[in-house]
Amino acid sequence: MKRIPSIAEMKAACRQITRSGKTLGFVPTMGALHEGHLSLVRAAKARCDVTAVSIFVNPLQFGPTEDLAKYPRTLERDCALLEELGVDLVFVPTVRGMYGTTQVSVQTKDAKLGHTHTGPTLSTTEVDKGGAPAAERKTQDGIEKTYVLVEGLSDRLDGASRPGHFRGVATVVAKLFEIVRADCAFFGQKDAAQVAVLRKMVRDLDMDVEIVVCPIVREKDGLAMSSRNVYLSPEQRQQALVLHRALMRVQMMADQGERDVAKLAEIGKQVIAEEPGARLDYFAIVDADTLDPIADVRRGALVAVAAYFGTTRLIDNILLT
Ligand code: AMP
C-alpha cells in the first residue's frame, strides 16, 4: 500500500492506474476509521480493480464552534486497517496542500457570520513535496478561494444546522474527485444529506464518476457507527440508542399503513423527547433526492434525525420504500 501526501504524486499514481485500463474505486474519509468506513472499502474492492482511500480532516466543513481541533486522528491505526484490507493507495494531504493556507474560512451565506479557522496540526515539514499548494490571494477580509456550492440542497437538514458545512464538503470532494478521477466513489447512506448534495454536484457539473451508496453499518444494539461515538460517555452511549429507536418506531408505523408525514414525524419526535439526555436538532421526513418536504410517504421517503448528547451531535436515518 502506498501512502501519498502530495497532490501531484497522487494524481500521477491515479493516472497511471486509469491509463493502464484498470478501474479505480475511491473512498473519501476523515479517518478514525470504523466498520462503516471499512464496508465502503470492501465495496470498492469488490467493484473496482484498484482502490484508493483518502484521509483528510477537512477544516472547510467544520463550523467555528464545532469539533475540528478534537476530531479523532488515528492515522497509523487507520493505515494498518487499510493495508490489511488490501487498499492500494492512501491519500493523506495536508491542509496547506489542499487549500494553500492553514487559514480556512467557514462562511455562511451571510458573510458577516464568516469565521476563520486555523488549521490544527500543520507544520512546515508537512507541506507537500510534489506540487505547489493551491493558490491563495489575500484580501482585506481574508483569503479568496474557489468553492463549490450546491445551492438549495446545501441549506437543508444538516446544512440548516451547520451553515457552510455542505459548501465545505462539496468543495473538498470536487477537489478529491479531480485529483483521483476514479471510476466509482463510495459513500455511506449514514450521511444521507451529503449523498443528495454530492449526487447533485456530480450531475450539475457533469463529473465523470459514479457515486455508489452503501448501507449504514450499526453496532449490535442499533447505534449507527460514527467516528464521533468515541466522544460519548457510557451513559450518553446508552442515551444515543434513542435515535435508532425513534427511526424504528416510524418504520413500524409506516409498515402498519400510516402515510401522513406530520403524524410520523410527531411519533419520531415523541420518542426522542422521552430521552432526557437527547437534545433534538431535527427530525425530518423528506424526499431522499431533493431533501424537500413531502406530505405523505407513499412514494418513499428519507427519515432523518440529528440530536445532541452532551456536546456530541449524532445523525441517523432510514429510507422508507
Ligand atoms: P467520514 O469519515 O465521517 O467523513 O465518513 C466517510 C464516509 O464513511 C462517508 O461516506 C460516510 O457516509 C461513511 N460512513 C460513516 N459512518 C458510516 C456507517 N456507520 N455506515 C456506513 N458508512 C458510513
Question: Which residue type does 271 have?
Answer: V
- Closest-CA residue, ligand 1 atom 19, reads 225
Ligand 1 centroid, distance to 16 Cα (angstroms): 28
Task: Report residue 108: phi and psi, to 5°.
Answer: -100, 180
Task: State which ligand 1 atom lies nearest to the alpha carbon of 31.
Answer: 2
Reported pTM: 0.92
Note the Cα 103 to chain centre separation in Å: 21
CA–CA separation, 256 and 276 (whole Å): 28
Name which of 160, 155, 166 is nearest 194 in CA terms: 166
pLDDT in tens, the chain (321 residues): 999 999 999 999 999 999 999 999 999 999 999 999 999 999 999 999 999 999 999 999 999 999 999 999 999 999 999 999 999 999 999 999 999 988 776 755 444 344 444 444 333 334 444 445 666 566 554 567 899 999 999 999 999 999 999 999 999 999 999 999 999 999 999 999 999 999 999 999 999 999 999 999 999 999 999 999 999 999 999 999 999 999 999 999 999 999 999 999 999 999 999 999 999 999 999 999 999 999 999 888 999 999 999 999 999 999 999
168 lines ligand 1 (CB under 6 A): no
- Closest-CA residue, ligand 1 atom 5, reads 29
Q: Which residues pair with 260 in a beta bridge?
A: 296
Ligand 1 centroid, distance to 122 Cα (angstroms): 25
Take residue 263 and report the three cell numbers written for it.
403524524
Residues with active-site annotation = 37
Take residue 282 and report the three cell numbers written for it.
431535527
197 lines ligand 1 (CB under 6 A): no
CA–CA separation, 128 and 79 (whole Å): 19
Radius of gyration of the chain (CA): 20
216 lines ligand 1 (CB under 6 A): yes
Take residue 243 and report the three cell numbers written for it.
435515535
Sheet of strand 278-286, all strands in order from the earlier edge strand to the far edge? 278-286, 301-309, 312-320
Ligand 1 centroid, distance to 317 Cα (angstroms): 13
Strand pairing class (210-214; 184-188): parallel
CA–CA separation, 9 and 46 (whole Å): 25
63 lines ligand 1 (CB under 6 A): no
Task: State which ligand 1 atom lies nearest to the alpha carbon of 224.
Answer: 19
Take residue 309 and report the three cell numbers written for it.
448528547
- What is the full DSSP assignment across 173-241? HHHHHHHH--SEEEEETTSHHHHHHHHHHHHHTT-S-EEEEEPPPB-TTSPBP-GGGGG--HHHHHHTH
165 lines ligand 1 (CB under 6 A): no
Please name the residue that has the C-alpha cell 483528510. 56
CA–CA separation, 14 and 270 (whole Å): 49
Task: State which ligand 1 atom lies nearest to the alpha carbon of 186.
Answer: 10
